[in-house]
Amino acid sequence: MPTPNYTLDPIGRVIVDDDGFALSIYEPYRPALAELDGFSHINVLWWAHLLDDPMFREMTIAERAYRNAPAQIGIFATRSPARPNPIALSAVAVISIDRDEGIVRVPYVDADDGTPILDIKPYHPSVDRIREVRVPAWCATWPQWYEDSATFDWGAVFESAQ
């Protein structure tokens, strides 16, 4: 059976400028921002275009990226953008939304300037927050809450920081 192909059309792009971080939504998609301003956080799905390379798409095993992790780890057990489909997910706070200009200001998003945005979904506790979570021992000391991640020493977690 042939593998189907799918077409993804970006709805906008990430902007990194002197004002910080923003999601610039293309004009045809701006009406979709209606009522999004009632949510404090959103999930942004973006295309890791800088790693969209056949070599990275074939990766199924990654070498140890985290200090306490096993020597090799399955790519699906990482949040690396190097994967079969370089789709990334970031939960971000919303600072402001200018629907007319299609600008969603956020304090930070772990994507580069110009990164294609695939979709935006509201963060909603009833479907996005899970009470009983289990993680492997190698990442059990990482922050349990999004807000604590900003002050966490992530440099001490990654293997390259040694």
Quick one: average pLDDT of 73-92? 92
pLDDT tens digits, residue range 17-73?
999 999 999 999 999 999 999 999 999 999 999 989 989 999 999 888 888 889 999
Using pLDDT thresholds of 50, 70 and 90, give the confidence band for residue 96: very high
CA angle 80, 147, 154 (to 5 degrees): 45
- Give the 3-state secondary structure of residue 102: coil
Q: Give the residue from 140, 146, 145 showing the smallest Cα distance to 68.
A: 140
pLDDT at 65: 80
Output the pTM of the full model: 0.90
Domains of the chain: 1-48+86-125 (2.40.30.70), 53-84 (no CATH)
Q: Which residue's structure tokens are 């370089």?
A: 86
Using pLDDT thresholds of 50, 70 and 90, give the confidence band for residue 149: confident
Residue 162 pLDDT greater than 50, yes or no: no
Mean pLDDT of the chain: 92
